[in-house]
Chain A
């Protein structure tokens, strides 16, 4: 039995007053934290982890709490370790286009600071005002613009973590090109905090493009969408996002833009970000490339386009119903996947990054819980047949035994498990929650 009064006493000894709170607001069936600790520096976090490790007490890392539904329910009551107070800017040499910050910084605040220098981290992080950078990295968040800019693994050039023994370890560095030592930044990105609690990050940055444009294309037939995205794959233009939306998804996206955009039955939203001349040329040219198809266009520029791009990026965080999935597959199979999603026993609101082969879907109410679970399993098989996989991003904890929370395990699972055992032999960091626990 865990002696909570002893642990609490020792935790109080290493944290300042007010740094310990109850687990109010946490989904305890997913993250069974008895108390939440919010250290104000890395030294305190290290001490906290040491105390927990000595007591073999699970640790649940917490950031902005925007994606706690991801993963399986935690195994064993433990301590929530919040990084929200580790949010200092360590160094921002803007002329080098890099920044080093503590990982608890909110992504929105980070982007604001970067924007003041005309720079940004070009990753779509939904609910950025709440989401922390460390949380975004631990969950490897990405959105529609990954087609143009890649994902977090392409921008995290240095990282520090507090490991399961309470040591702070660092990998990478602060320069944009660096191959000294193993690139553990890659290992931590998407690790859901199971190999260490991310405490500090150095990012490579990009300039904010001068202009933005979106071509919102409405199609009546899914077959025409298929032709369109094949053409877009070979387009003379260079979209940063090619998003295919079914009607429900398009309506959700449009509602957040205050634009009277048509949404039925199929939308392809094509995003451009570059110089003013290049954006204008592309918005016109891409329409000419899709000529001959049964399609209706609306072209948006400037802030109107930026609002649409932002809304497309937020779609994955919508919660119309009880469950959300993220599927991956070959990009050329996007329409095939969407077609499959339309033929389910329940209705899904689906948006797909057609260039990257990634789709997010939310179940639409009302939906029979049993049918939703059946549908998730079918969609997994469907994605797997298209050489991909499917992860349930959010659903009631009670469903997690019967839905594919982490999709189908792959051949390299044993190696992932071996790495985790090596770095966290007591299995204290987010126990039970990750794909290696399936």
Chain B
């Protein structure tokens, strides 16, 4: 098999040595690991087709992968097989500033597109915190969000069309550069399908006008409660900020040590609030937000003085995860969602659950969307701690469901959250989703054992894989 893969992608287009394969054993969810049997790096749609056809011929499972920055094991190669990494399909094929779209290959790193657009007055709106590393193909697979998706929408709101290699090797194009083509919105269906429908080989994405200006505020609060009450009040007042992010004391400490912004270390929580748009009327909106924060017990609201200070604030927020290394050896980030009015409740529950299991939990999250990211700190070498982290995670997510929320806002079900699907959906809901998957992926060869409980592991690391290798 490796020999034939080499025939498709060339001698530099694959990895098969155990030492190198280890890099691909997991994504940002590090609790479950499994190495693929081989990783291939195709550079064209034709190569992806040939690889997929070969997997079919030899009866081997395959899984697509972008940069592996997500947090739910979406690209974990369950059962081994071939990992199709799209990072070398990384060309920006077309930028049309007049009609505001770009055509990109899946391996284009999210921020490359926005960097490439500098000076055009346009940008690509979805901005995951990992945007310096994550790929647009991966964003399409997980329907990624980011801080500014509160106002501008998540990935699916910005994808106009796709080119896709289906699990049987057929290529299909959905959507297009013109909006509203008649028929089912297959593009919208495929975005967020976590690689279970095939391999994305091209995406047509919408480009968004840069806002004329913005106001970036830092609200400092004595307690998490005051901060979350302010968030609910801002949304309830009918204000849609461009971004509304919260960091709690543990995170403030870590990012302050890493970036020296000047965060008050004694604060219970800070809110990073950005409003953007036309200059006219923007100051009044910022004043309204300030007043709401003050009415909810805010200690002070500071405005970023200039662009440099704003960038530093966002750097602190977006690289907060990187700063966690200062707090613990390992961490597990959850991705629950609650109705925004339930934020005060869920944050109190997170504190309680952390105490119950003796696990320190830091919080940095997309507050305006109700998308929480509790970060459970532990040492993965300690089996008991790992067990407690998993138990605490489950309890947090179950509470999200009880609040009428969801277990994932932007990272997907992957392998990690499969057990929650029956809690979120009925048997009949799941049957419909599985029927849709069967239309695309009847054998389950593509991304086996993802998203849905039971029945999905139809391709184990079988004798077929062994024989093929």
Chain A interface residues toward B at CB < 8 A: 93-98, 118-119, 140, 142, 150-151, 153-154, 163, 167-171, 173-187, 189-191, 195, 206-208, 230, 233-234, 236-238, 274-278, 280-282, 326, 328-332, 356-358, 386-389, 391, 406-407, 410-413, 415-416, 418-420, 422-423, 435-436
Contacts and interface: CB of A to CB of B under 8 A. Distances in A.
19 contacts: A93-B341, A153-B156, A153-B188, A167-B428, A174-B405, A179-B192, A179-B412, A181-B425, A181-B451, A183-B156, A185-B188, A186-B191, A187-B184, A190-B184, A206-B240, A274-B278, A329-B178, A391-B182, A422-B436
A87 to B, nearest CB: 22
Contacts of B435: 422-423
Given A177-B410, A181-B424, A278 B366 contact: no
B209 interface: yes
Given A179-B408, A410-B173, A412-B172, 13 more contacts: A175-B339, A175-B406, A183-B143, A186-B185, A189-B188, A207-B238, A275-B284, A281-B280, A282-B278, A332-B99, A410-B176, A415-B440, A423-B432
B154 interface: yes
A174 B339 contact: yes
B339 A98 contact: yes
B155 to A, nearest CB: 9
Nearest to B339: A96
B88 interface: no
Interface in B95-125: 98-100, 121
A178 B178 contact: no
Contact of A238 (B182, B187, B278, B420): B278
Sort chain B's interface into a size bin.
35 or more
Interface of B: 98-100, 121, 142-143, 145, 149, 153-154, 156-157, 172-174, 176-189, 191-193, 209, 212, 232, 235-236, 238-240, 277-278, 280-281, 284-285, 337-341, 366, 369-371, 404-413, 417, 420-421, 424-426, 428-433, 435-440, 451
Contacts of A411: 172-173
Given A170-B425, A277-B281, A184 B369 contact: no
Contact of A233 (B98, B337, B407, B411): B98
Given A275-B285, A357-B179, A435-B182, A97 B437 contact: no
A150 B177 contact: no
Given A187-B185, A331-B99, A278 B281 contact: yes
Given A186-B189, A275-B281, A412-B183, A175 B174 contact: no
Nearest to A329: B178
B428 A168 contact: yes
A47 to B, nearest CB: 15
A433 to B, nearest CB: 12
Contacts, number: 252
B341 A230 contact: no
Contacts of B154: 177, 179
Contacts of A181: 413, 421, 424-425, 429-430, 433, 451
Contacts of A230: 98
Contacts of A278: 277-278, 280-281
A370 B74 CA distance: 56
Contact of B280 (A186, A277, A415, A419): A277
A329 B181 CA distance: 9
A282 to B, nearest CB: 7
A116 to B, nearest CB: 13
Contacts of A169: 426, 428-429, 431-432
A174 B417 CA distance: 19
B167 to A, nearest CB: 12
Q: Which of B209, B280, B406, B432 has the most CB of A within 10 A?
A: B432
Given A96-B339, A167-B428, A181-B413, A415 B436 contact: no
B126 to A, nearest CB: 12
B137 to A, nearest CB: 16
Contacts of A140: 180
A342 to B, nearest CB: 21
A93 B179 CA distance: 32
A190 to B, nearest CB: 6
A187 B341 contact: no
Contact of A330 (B99, B173, B192): B99
A292 B101 CA distance: 29
Contacts of B192: 179, 182-183
Contact of B178 (A93, A190, A236, A330): A330
